[in-house]
Amino acid sequence: MKKQWTGAEIRQSFVDFFVSHGHTFVPSSSLVPGGDQTLLFTNAGMVQFKDVFLGTDVRPYTRAVNSQKCMRVAGKHNDLDDVGRDDTHHTFFEMLGNWSFGDYYKKEAIAWAWELLTEVWGLDKSKLWTTCFKDDKGSIPSDEEAYANWVKQPGIIPEQVLFNGRKENFWEMADVGPCGPCSEIHIDRGAEYCNKQAVPGHICRVNGDCARFTELWNLVFIQYNRLSPTDLQPLPATHVDTGMGFERIVSVMQGVNSNYRTDLLFPLIQTVQRLTGHTDAEVAGNFTPYRVLADHARAATFLITDGVVPGNIGRNYICRMIVRRAARFGRKLGLGEPFMAKIAQTVIDTYGAAFPDLRRNHATILDNLTREEQRFQRTVDAGLGRLNELLGELRSRGETVLDGQEAFDLYATLGLPYELARDEARDQGLDVDETGFRQAMDEHRIASGAGKAFGAQGGEHVDIFRGVLKNLIAAGKLTVEGVAYDPYESLEVKDRLLAIVKDGVSVTDAEAGDTVAVVLSKTCFYVESGGQMSDAGSIQSVSGPAWEIAVEETRKPAAGVIVHIGKVTRGSPQVDDEIFAVVDTQRRWDIMRNHTATHLLHAELHAVLGEHARQAGSLVAPDRLRFDFTHPEAIPAETLEKIEAGVNQAILENYRLNTTIKPLAQAIAEGAMALFGEKYSETVRTITIGSHLSEGGSHLSEGGSHLSEGGQLLPISYELCGGTHVGETGDIGLFLILNEGSAAAGVRRIEAVTGRGAYEVVQRRFKALKQSAALLGSALEDVPAKAQALLDDAGSARKQIQRLRQDLVAAEFVRHLAEVPFVADVPVLALVLPNADADTLRQMTDRFRKQYPSGVVVLGSAVDNRPALIACVTDDLVKRGLNAGEIVRTIAQVIDGSGGGRPTLAQAGGKDASRLQEAIDQVVPIVKAKLK
Ligand SMILES: [Zn+2]
Ligand SMILES: [Zn+2]
């Protein structure tokens, strides 16, 4: 009987096969591309190797195999709209690949591909078709080498080896850069798989666009470097880059007609079925929403695991969109309550063994999904309400298509996704402009700093320094390993000046005032990495004429080259001069204190807030540290104090730090914390605080360990880290949190200081406290009580002043009340009073009315230069044509103000206090004119 393969077995056998052929297994990198701000998500297996192909990175291996987590949500490869509508599109997927970096080439790549598919996995040789490159434009040579290798594979049918043109069989990374021909392997799944039988004239064939022929594997042979559309140069070293869609090969091996019916995704479909209570027939009849829910739940689960929680911009926005789209399809299936966490649980169960991070982040995943669904439920009704208003306006204008920008604003402000708006519009016989929506979203995305095109890799400097490196190696001044880098052992080196680059050109000497980049054969200057800033310092001549370069930063522009960038402060440095380079020691110590404190803070956040509080960004500068981490809400002051106290306790314990170099896999297995968006090689440096991990991974006791549940000793902190650290935590001195706030949706930020920085803060604040105490004439500890007492005094004084002011106003008013002038038979008092607030003015009008049951009073006053007016007309006079509101509105114009009220009582404010009297002077003429 034929072996029935599980998805996990297929993944593992792929890896095992290539490991047995000398490949190094490289674990999947994060969905957030390491060190590449230009790419939204890791979208292919080659992303983590891109720098190797571009020559800016070197690896200790030349053969690699991996299964890479990928995301594609937009662009030429995929559109979110396709996902769910068919059996093959996904947002998240895995890509299997084997790689040769200047090692084996077509002969081995082709033979191994054939052997794995037909011998190991037992696919029918007669069903396999392969393709080779033949240029349809006739300018690039045909790939006869690949063809010759294919036709000699055992059991292959030579007629099933085809040639195709550029569109199918020539691969390019970008408009310029590495490229080459490729070979694809397709499988004929049989006539019953054809889904184009209804199309007139359809013939099933390779690349014929029906489901019968399926592409399994693409082998890319990188042998050229494209310099321009017409200039193709052969590369000195050739590479192999292959990609096999994991879900697809699993569907073929398991003999199912949909990726969603493999054992990777079908358990998710079944979970949804349990939630809806549908029969199998109902599931089949509603397969689109089922596929959407399975795909999106899997994608969101992996995104959150990699630190991408739902939010408003960039990657976080994509996560939100995916959760909300799933929620909408869930509604279609009648799911009213939050349900994503339940599907995510199945994702974790299905994938947890291959991706242990899923299990580690279990609680965070479920929590984030449920919160996002709840947020969506709260906003979606408001969004639909506003949409219906807009659609009503649209209809009344006689139009049928809602503007794309308006639809995007609905999304941006009320969280209503385009798809939902479109569905609602179409239900009413209207539509939404999709192009306009996408455009608005792209603009938004670019403005948010994400989703830009595959960008330049370090610019023109890469070439200059690569050239410098080549020349130095050729001249025997550097080994092929390049510049020796050791920022850990010493802070000074003696060496020779190997190269000077000024204004992008390699020169032999420089002058005082020049900004230069210089290369030595070895350096102890730290190069910015993992959030830790570069070192600064100085390079000086040790013999001959004196000169000095003040180094401001260091960089690594290409593999093997480290440059020191700075200004020549005196003299004239020349290539080959003997030099002495020294790192600014005090600055470096400040940085090391902040870096070690960052590790302690990270560990303390885990201990106090929980495992979900993972690093989402970090800056280690000389004057401060900044740490971003995933956490849904603001941290209360007492909790923050507890965290700060915990870090300081670890400092006082004076734990020793241990640095160990070990295999990445071992460090991960031991539970070392690895960070998002960081690239790791397979040998890593680990920093342990509080206990020592031996080579074998057992935990030895050495002060400052936690006992785990199993009674095993665990360190306080254990991280993969290439940074520089203090020897013992006591070196940090003091740790102070300056503030805590929001960095992004679901991400909090803590800024803190240590050592000298902390001392300065304490000193500054202590001084301020002492000054306050001196001003208050109190002891330091009594400052708060004394300040409170003063505030209370000031409060009652203010009240007293107000009372006195009212008394004064009243006295003034009473004088005028005795001699109110008449207009015809009506007493009319129009008056500016000094310093009366609105309240006082009202009281004065009441007094007037008590004395004059029939009459008009209009008062104006200004407090702190802000004028106010009040008018009062008795009922009987309203009947005779007078109106308080009208009077106030008219005269308020004079003071540049406005107001209103009832016919009997009205008031106004204004801006121009200097014209109050002028305004009041208008009252008598108005009364005269209006009075009947
Ligand atoms: Zn067909
Ligand atoms: Zn670190």
| Mean pLDDT score of the chain | 88
Query: What distance in angstroms lies between residue 908's CA and the mean position of ligand 1's atoms?
Result: 81
Query: What distance in angstroms lies between residue 6's CA and the mean position of ligand 1's atoms?
Result: 28
Query: What distance in angstroms lies between residue 601's CA and the mean position of ligand 2's atoms?
Result: 11
Tokens describing residue 575: 């290539």
Residue range 517-537, pLDDT digits in tens: 999 999 999 998 888 999 999
Contacts of residues 898-903 at CB distance under 8 Å and 24 or more positions apart, as own/partner, are 899/869, 901/871, 903/873, 903/878
Query: What distance in angstroms lies between residue 668's CA and the mean position of ligand 2's atoms?
Result: 15
Position 676 scores a pLDDT of 57
Position 690 scores a pLDDT of 84
570: which strand partners?
548
Query: What distance in angstroms lies between residue 211's CA and the mean position of ligand 1's atoms?
Result: 7
Q: Identify the band that residue 764 occupies on the pLDDT scale cut at 50, 70 and 90.
A: very high
> In sequence order, what are the residues at sequence separation of 6 or more whose Cβ sits closer than 8 angstroms to the Cβ of residue 17?
112, 116, 120
What is the dihedral sign for C-alpha 445, 450, 456, 462? positive
Query: What distance in angstroms lies between residue 119's CA and the mean position of ligand 1's atoms?
Result: 27
- Inter-residue contact 314 to 449 (CB < 8 Å): yes
Residue 508 DSSP code: S
DSSP string, 823-851: ETTEEEEEEE-TT--HHHHHHHHHHHHHH
Q: Identify the band that residue 702 occupies on the pLDDT scale cut at 50, 70 and 90.
A: very low
DSSP string, 8-32: HHHHHHHHHHHHTTTPEE-PPPPSS
Ligand nearest to C-alpha 659 = 2
Query: What distance in angstroms lies between residue 484's CA and the mean position of ligand 1's atoms?
Result: 59
Query: What distance in angstroms lies between residue 205's CA and the mean position of ligand 1's atoms?
Result: 7
Q: Identify the band that residue 701 occupies on the pLDDT scale cut at 50, 70 and 90.
A: very low
Query: What distance in angstroms lies between residue 723's CA and the mean position of ligand 2's atoms?
Result: 5
Position 742 scores a pLDDT of 86
Residue range 620-670, pLDDT digits in tens: 999 999 999 988 889 999 999 999 999 999 999 999 999 998 888 888 888
DSSP string, 185-210: EEEE--GGG-S-TTSTT----TTSSS
Residue 258 DSSP code: S
Query: What distance in angstroms lies between residue 204's CA and the mean position of ligand 1's atoms?
Result: 4
Residue range 421-444, pLDDT digits in tens: 887 888 788 999 988 888 887 776
Query: What distance in angstroms lies between residue 196's CA and the mean position of ligand 1's atoms?
Result: 5
Closest alpha carbon to 150 in 137, 136, 166, 169: 169
**pLDDT score of 57 more than 50:** yes
> Which helix H or strand E contains 918, and what residues bound it?
helix 916-921
Mean pLDDT of 372-381: 81
Query: What distance in angstroms lies between residue 206's CA and the mean position of ligand 1's atoms?
Result: 9
Residue range 387-406, pLDDT digits in tens: 988 999 999 988 899 998 88
> In sequence order, what are the residues at sequence separation of 6 or more whose Cβ sits closer than 8 angstroms to the Cβ of residue 318?
40, 41, 71, 73, 303, 308
Query: What distance in angstroms lies between residue 720's CA and the mean position of ligand 2's atoms?
Result: 7
Query: What distance in angstroms lies between residue 596's CA and the mean position of ligand 2's atoms?
Result: 7
Mean pLDDT of 571-580: 93
Strands 747-754 and 735-744: antiparallel
Q: Identify the band that residue 37 occupies on the pLDDT scale cut at 50, 70 and 90.
A: low
Ligand nearest to C-alpha 720 = 2
Mean pLDDT of 232-249: 92
Query: What distance in angstroms lies between residue 719's CA and the mean position of ligand 2's atoms?
Result: 7
Query: What distance in angstroms lies between residue 82's CA and the mean position of ligand 2's atoms?
Result: 41
Query: What distance in angstroms lies between residue 183's CA and the mean position of ligand 1's atoms?
Result: 22
**pLDDT score of 25 more than 90:** yes
Query: What distance in angstroms lies between residue 864's CA and the mean position of ligand 2's atoms?
Result: 57
Query: What distance in angstroms lies between residue 725's CA and the mean position of ligand 2's atoms?
Result: 8
Query: What distance in angstroms lies between residue 620's CA and the mean position of ligand 2's atoms?
Result: 9
Least confident of 108-122, 488-502, 681-695: 681-695
Query: What distance in angstroms lies between residue 488's CA and the mean position of ligand 2's atoms?
Result: 13
Position 452 scores a pLDDT of 28
Residue 548 DSSP code: E
Mean pLDDT of 21-26: 94
Distance of CA 827 to the CA centre of its chain: 72
In the chain, pLDDT over 70 holds for what percent of residues? Answer: 93
Position 223 scores a pLDDT of 92
Q: Which residue has the higher pLDDT, 687 or 616?
A: 687
Position 691 scores a pLDDT of 62
